[in-house]
Amino acid sequence: EATNIPEFYDRTEDLAATIKGNKNIYATSEYAKEYIDKEFSTNVGVLHNFIPDIKQKIGKQLKKTESKKLQFSLVGYFTPRKGLHVCIEAIEALSIDLKNQITFNIVGNRTESTKDYWEPLYNKTQKLDVYNWTGEIWGDDKWRLFLETDVFVVPSFDESCSRVVLEAMMLGKPVIISQNVGAKYMVNDQTGWIVKTGCVNSLKECLENIIENNKDK
């Protein structure tokens, strides 16, 4: 990811030399470009990802389950960098009334190598019906859950772009991301919200506004 680019090149001398001597360097976001520029002072360009609009195609293929509750989803690896703990703390800080109006899907593989991080969070969230740990899902199951999701949450501390944001946008879904997610070039007033990185209160307030506005509709 962006912030560990300097460390990565320090461990890869040949690649570092190639980068420093090459003017045709491209990053996937302005966020990643910033860190390459800092280290190498190269003329780095940005090549944004292209995404097709597949909402209608997937919607015709799959039948989604309608829910009266607002569906939020966090998808990815369970490491501190991904910010799952920030998300859970923000949800725990919501009022009981607001919690009762949402389901928070947590999608990903609970590996042994990351158990020290995710297991305490998993145990903590078993006390409430708000959370739905799905495990790792693929194919139609994945796309069905994505269709059912109302808002994707990507609270990462460092993310050069974000495949989850790209996939959400492919389905026309809004996202909540942190300031340290490179895909913020895709987020505006029509497509989502940007919150302070690692700030529980900033994310909590964003969730509150979304839930309250949904209730008024």
pLDDT tens track for 77-133 = 999 999 999 999 999 999 999 999 999 999 999 999 999 999 999 999 998 899 999
| pTM, two decimal places | 0.86
CB 105 within 8 A of CB 73: yes
C-beta neighbour count of 6 within 10 angstroms: 14
Predicted confidence (pLDDT) at residue 216 exceeds the cutoff of 60: no
- What pLDDT is stored for residue 118 in this prediction? 97
CB 90 within 8 A of CB 204: yes
Q: Which of 214, 203, 213 is nearest to 74 (CA)?
A: 203
Predicted confidence (pLDDT) at residue 1 exceeds the cutoff of 80: no
Secondary structure of residue 52 in the 3-state scheme: coil
C-beta pairs of 61-67 under 8 Å, 24+ apart in sequence: 61/140, 61/143, 62/140, 62/143, 62/144, 62/147, 63/144, 64/144, 64/147, 64/148, 65/144, 65/148, 67/103, 67/148
122 CB contacts (<8 Å, ≥6 apart)?
A: 110, 133
Find the mean pLDDT for residues 122-147: 92
Q: CA 157, CA 43: separation in Å to the nearest integer? A: 26
Q: CA 24, CA 44: separation in Å to the nearest integer? A: 7
- What pLDDT is stored for residue 97 in this prediction? 96
Q: CA 11, CA 175: separation in Å to the nearest integer? A: 35
DSSP helix, strand, coil percent of the chain (3-state; round to 5): 50, 15, 35
**Cα torsion 64, 67, 71, 76: sign:** negative
DSSP annotation of 12: -
What pLDDT band is residue 69 in, cutting at 50, 70 and 90? very high
* Total residue count of the chain as it appears in this document: 217
- What pLDDT is stored for residue 50 in this prediction? 73
| Residue of 194 and 35 predicted with greater confidence | 194
Predicted confidence (pLDDT) at residue 215 exceeds the cutoff of 70: no
- What pLDDT is stored for residue 199 in this prediction? 98
Predicted confidence (pLDDT) at residue 20 exceeds the cutoff of 80: no
- What pLDDT is stored for residue 68 in this prediction? 83
Q: Is 189 exposed, middle or buried (0-12, 13-18, 19+ CB in 10 A)?
A: exposed
Mean pLDDT over the full length of the chain: 88
